[in-house]
Amino acid sequence: MANKSKQRIAVAMVGEIKVGDRKMVNVDGKSIGIFNVNGEHVAVLNVCPHELAPVCRGRVTGTTLASVPGESLKWGREDEILVCPWHGWEFDLKTGDALADKRRLRTYPVTVEEGQVLIEV
């Protein structure tokens, strides 16, 4: 069985992607979104686990927070949530987890070295 080793690829310069914004890159034929989540870079495969939409084209926003019955809803986690453009599923950009389902986004490890953002694929 072939053992495909991982490689680290420079995909952006630090400061290139503003908070709440993204940069799309193509690595080995895969479309990957690089997001700046409140200063932390994350890398997400541009495929929604629901029905395969280009999820990285979705809005980056916050979400309603868990609350107790009778309490008014509160908004939070601004710039941490990616909303799929097809059916509106919400995903936690830092973990890849869907907020209302067990499926998750495919994410890649990200490091910053010498002013560059690198992803491991």
**How far apart, in Å, are the Cα atoms of 27 and each of 3, 73, 103, 120?**
19, 40, 23, 10
Residue 55 touching ligand FES (CB under 6 A): yes
Whole-angstrom Cα distance, residue 79 to residue 53?
A: 20
Whole-angstrom Cα distance, residue 29 to residue 27?
A: 5
Residue 35 touching ligand FES (CB under 6 A): no
Nearer to ligand FES, 12 or 82 (CB): 82
Residues between 68 and 107 that touch ligand FES (CB under 6 A): 84, 86-87, 89
In the complex, minimum distance from the CB of residue 84 to ligand FES, in angstroms, rounded to a whole number? 3
Residue 118 touching ligand FES (CB under 6 A): no
Residue 26's identity, in one-letter code, is N
In the complex, minimum distance from the CB of residue 87 to ligand FES, in angstroms, rounded to a whole number? 3
Q: Give the range of 25-33, 43-51, 60-68, 102-110 binding ligand FES by CB under 6 A.
A: 43-51
Which of 21, 51, 78, 120 lies at the binding interface for ligand FES (CB under 6 A)? 51
Task: Count Cβ neighbours within 10 Å for each residue of 30-61 and write b for 16 or more, e otherwise.
Answer: eebbbbbbeeebbbbbbbbbbeebebbbbebe
- List interacting residues with ligand FES (CB under 6 A): 48, 50-51, 53, 55, 84, 86-87, 89
